[in-house]
Amino acid sequence: MYQRIRKPIVISTAILFHLLLIFHLFFSPVLIVAASFNSIINASFFAFVLMFLLSLFFGRAYCSWFCPGCGVQEILSFFIKRKSKNSKALYIKYFIFTIWIGAIITGYILNGINKVDLSYGMSDITLERKIILTLGAIVLIVPLTAIFGKFASCKYICWLVPFLVIGTKIRDYFHLKGLRLKSEKLKCNSCNVCTTKCPMNIDVMENVKNGYMQDTECILCGNCIDHCKQKVIRFSFKK
Ligand code: SF4
Ligand code: SF4
């Protein structure tokens, strides 16, 4: 049920991102570092702050419902069926995030903030550079998916994931209401379909059995909900 809504949305964001050569302004990890060293608050600064705030209520739902990178992953999933492993490589993204956020904070501490410029990076940019910036996502995602399996780039290198994980952890720590998975383990017949359908290779059935559905790799795509014939798993917005 959810996939009929989610997949068209997320694939559309991927197509729009790559056709309209403007979205890199909001998602580029490079522009915000350059902006910080030029004392400028740019468009992606607001985009990343908004993502963080949304994660306080919606966890990692942004990843599976609106992220252009996930949209590319969904398109690749038509051709590549192998899942990527949940190995120590999952920690690489936290390493990348630490260096990236450290560079941004250093830029603003050293140079201060002088102005807000939402079009920063756009005025002096050539069409070629716009295309390179925009296609950079594909250049990263396609080989990683081909080598390591589906959703490898989300799991291993996405520098935005730690933002959303931190927001989700803060929400859970303060027992705030928010989008999460809930399950009724007594209804489960151990068919394991939820685990096989999870694109993030989470052992969903094990989580159901343990009665604990919070998993930092869960992108709230709803695949496990859609495929569970016993209706064991559902979305909830409760504490
Ligand atoms: S798909 Fe549903 S019934 Fe099957 S293992 Fe998962 S939660 Fe249990
Ligand atoms: S656990 Fe369910 S909602 Fe979370 S990523 Fe896996 S299939 Fe999607």
Compute the distance from residue 123 Cα to the ligand 2 centre, in Å.
Answer: 41
Compute the distance from residue 211 Cα to the ligand 1 centre, in Å.
Answer: 13
Q: Within this chain, do residues 160 and 194 fall inside the same structural domain, yes or no? A: no
CA distances from 74 to 66, 71, 147, 189, 208 (A): 12, 5, 16, 29, 25
Q: Please name every residue paired with 105 in a beta bridge, in sequence order, or none if there are none.
A: none
pLDDT band at 124 (very low <50, low <70, confident <90, very high): low
- The model's pLDDT over 137-178, given as tens digits with 9 standing for 90+, comes to 778 888 999 999 999 999 999 988 998 999 999 999 999 999
Q: Which residue has the higher pLDDT, 30 or 145?
A: 145
Q: Within this chain, do residues 46 and 121 fall inside the same structural domain, yes or no? A: yes
pLDDT band at 50 (very low <50, low <70, confident <90, very high): very high
Taking the C-alpha atoms of residue 204 and residue 134, their distance in angstroms, rounded to an integer, is 34
In sign, the C-alpha dihedral spanning 48, 54, 58, 64 is negative
Please choose from 183, 187, 228 the residue to mutate so as to test ligand 1's pocket, defined by most ligand atoms within 8 A of CB.
228
Q: Within this chain, do residues 48 and 148 fall inside the same structural domain, yes or no? A: yes
Which two three-digit tokens encode residue 174?
A: 């303060």
- Give the pTM: 0.89
Domain assignment of residue 154, given as a range: 2-170
Compute the distance from residue 197 Cα to the ligand 2 centre, in Å.
Answer: 8
Please say which residue of 154, 170, 186 terminates a domain: 170
Please tell me the predicted confidence (pLDDT) of residue 133.
66
Residue nearest ligand 1's atom 6 by CA: 194
Please tell me the predicted confidence (pLDDT) of residue 111.
93
- The model's pLDDT over 186-207, given as tens digits with 9 standing for 90+, comes to 999 999 999 999 999 999 999 9
Say if residue 122's pLDDT is above 80. no
Q: Are 228 and 193 in contact (CB under 8 A)?
A: yes
Q: Within this chain, do residues 25 and 97 fall inside the same structural domain, yes or no? A: yes
Q: Within this chain, do residues 157 and 192 fall inside the same structural domain, yes or no? A: no
